[in-house]
Amino acid sequence: MKILLLMSGSIACAKATQLLSSWRKAGHEVRVATTSSVSHFVGAATLEGLSGAPLFDDTFAGGQAMEHITLAQWADVLVVCPASANLLARFAHGVSDDAVSTLWQAAWGRGIPLVVVPAMNGHMWAYPATQANVAQLQSWGVHVLPTAEGELACGETGQGRMLEPADIEARVAALMQDTTGRTGRRILITGGGTREPIDAVRYIGNHSSGRTAAELAEALNALGHEVTWLGGAGAQQPGSGVALAHYTSFKDLESQLQDLLAAQDYDAVIHAAAVSDFSVSQGGGSEKLPSGEVLSLMLTPNPKLLPQLRSWSRNKALCVVGFKLTVGADQAAVEQAVARVFAAGDTDLVVHNDLHEIRPEAHSFTLYREAGQPASIADRQALAQALSGYLEEIA
Ligand SMILES: Cc1cc2nc3c(=O)[nH]c(=O)nc-3n(C[C@H](O)[C@H](O)[C@H](O)COP(=O)(O)O)c2cc1C
């Protein structure tokens, strides 16, 4: 395995050298890049000696002008260890002013796992900006390893202590084992419900929990796909390994779908969000409407998003999967409802479910293609497998 080790200024640099040494003994190739502070904790000679390769610590060093690109192209995995509070902030805010932060950005979007191993004093770890930066990186799909609780180098105790080298090594190995079966297919999943603003504080919402989209996102990630979840406010979120984005209203969802689909080549979009059919005319604004008075709202119909997704997509071969929820419909009504979705155009698959058949412990579906027999699907896990199988089939 080709490991790119990015280090920043922390006492835990000593532990990172143990990790480096252990990786080399296990037969991995390791290249090291450091921030300027690292030289106060561990010398270049030690890092070059242990890695058996030149250190990258200066973006502008003679003969290394393109090193930030060539190293990013070379690596199978990038591990930032130790990650200082300062470095987390620079990553989260797009600063690229030295070898490490420039290399980090150059490695972005190449399909290699990006792992961050924080190390710092407990108060620094608890600082709101640091926590917000960690959350930001996680929402982009970065694997941020936890910190341990215990005695810190400064003599205080608390959270923020870097994991032990053996633990980090095991976690990176497990992650790489997971990623050997990656398909490289990108899937965008919408979930949860829209909130249509009435005034500055009120909205019209729906009962969608977002559970199906969250569990599908996790299952498709486990099946090796690169998954982005675009979820409504308050919707159930998928766990680690899935990139997260959020929307609130219909308009917000529409514009984020346009942006995401134009920015990347997705192979499939699974549109499971419960989208309001109406928005409030002149809703929102900065005022709170007075209470205790009759209130008339004008609702204007929203256009259907599903038939437009492919036209917004950079990848015109995008597979489009829609959801149709009915309430106590008989078979004929279900088939008509599904036929209407296909008739609206540009949809490959429709997943049907009926509100009366949804229980917390069991949620079955029927998967429709425009032509051919519908397939009964027992649960969300089986739905993920069926959708993944369809992507294989059309690839
Ligand atoms: C002895 C010592 C230990 C430090 N340990 C940490 C640490 O574990 N985590 C951290 O975020 N900062 C730590 N710092 C502070 C950082 O080194 C400092 O914020 C530095 O500017 C980080 O720069 P860099 O992110 O470019 O490496 C330490 C500083 C000293 C003097």
Q: Give residue-wise pLDDT tens across range 252-295.
A: 999 999 999 998 889 999 999 999 999 999 998 899 999 999 99
Measure 21 CA to ligand 1 centroid, in angstroms. Answer: 22
- The count of residues in the chain is 395
Instruction: Give the pLDDT confidence of 63-97 residue by residue, as tens digits.
Output: 888 899 999 999 999 999 999 999 999 999 999 99
How much is the average pLDDT of 98-118?
93
Mean residue pLDDT of the chain comes to: 93
8 lines ligand 1 (CB under 6 A): yes
Block residue for tokens 């930032």: 80
The residue contributing the CA closest to ligand 1 atom 11 is: 84
The CA distance from 169 to 164, in Å, is: 9
Element of type H or E holding 197: strand 196-197
Of 341, 274, 353, 262, nearest to 309 (Cα)?
A: 262
* Cβ proximity of 317 and 289 under 8 Å: no
Measure 206 CA to ligand 1 centroid, in angstroms. Answer: 47
- In sequence order, the 6+-apart residues with CB closer than 8 A to the CB of 230 are 188, 189, 190, 191, 245, 246, 247, 253, 256, 257, 260, 273
The residue contributing the CA closest to ligand 1 atom 1 is: 11
The residue contributing the CA closest to ligand 1 atom 6 is: 10
299 lines ligand 1 (CB under 6 A): no
What is the per-residue pLDDT for 179?
65
Measure 12 CA to ligand 1 centroid, in angstroms. Answer: 9
CA–CA distance from 176 to each of 67, 87, 139, 170 (Å)?
A: 24, 24, 20, 10
| Site to substitute for ligand 1 among 5, 8, 101, 159, most atoms within 8 A of C-beta | 8
Q: How far is CA 132 from the centre of its chain?
A: 16
Q: What percent of the chain has pLDDT over 90?
A: 79
Measure 64 CA to ligand 1 centroid, in angstroms. Answer: 26
In the chain, residues under CATH classification 3.40.50.10300 are: 186-394
In the chain, residues under CATH classification 3.40.50.1950 are: 2-180
How much is the average pLDDT of 322-349?
95
Residue 180 has pLDDT above 70, yes or no: no
Q: Which two tokens stand for residue 336?
A: 């008509």
* Cβ proximity of 75 and 5 under 8 Å: no
Of 119, 89, 144, 160, nearest to 15 (Cα)?
A: 119
Q: What percent of the chain has pLDDT over 70?
A: 99
What is the per-residue pLDDT for 184?
76
Which sequence positions are flagged as catalytic?
Answer: 154
What is the per-residue pLDDT for 178?
65
How much is the average pLDDT of 341-368?
91
Q: Which two tokens stand for residue 66?
A: 């393109």
The residue contributing the CA closest to ligand 1 atom 31 is: 10
35 lines ligand 1 (CB under 6 A): yes
Would you state the CATH architecture of domain 186-394?
3-Layer(aba) Sandwich (3.40)
The CA distance from 381 to 238, in Å, is: 14
Q: How far is CA 34 from the centre of its chain?
A: 27
What's phi and psi for 38, nearest 5 deg?
A: -60, -30
3-class DSSP state of 331: helix
What is the per-residue pLDDT for 176?
82
What is the per-residue pLDDT for 222?
87
What is the per-residue pLDDT for 392?
84
Q: Which two tokens stand for residue 42?
A: 């561990």
Of 201, 296, 189, nearest to 245 (Cα)?
A: 189
CATH code for the domain defined by 2-180: 3.40.50.1950
87 lines ligand 1 (CB under 6 A): yes
Q: Give the pLDDT band of residue 41 (cuts 50, 70, 90).
A: very high
The residue that leads in pLDDT, 177 or 285, is 285
11 lines ligand 1 (CB under 6 A): yes
- Could you count the other beta carbons within 10 Å of the beta carbon of residue 340? 12
85 lines ligand 1 (CB under 6 A): yes
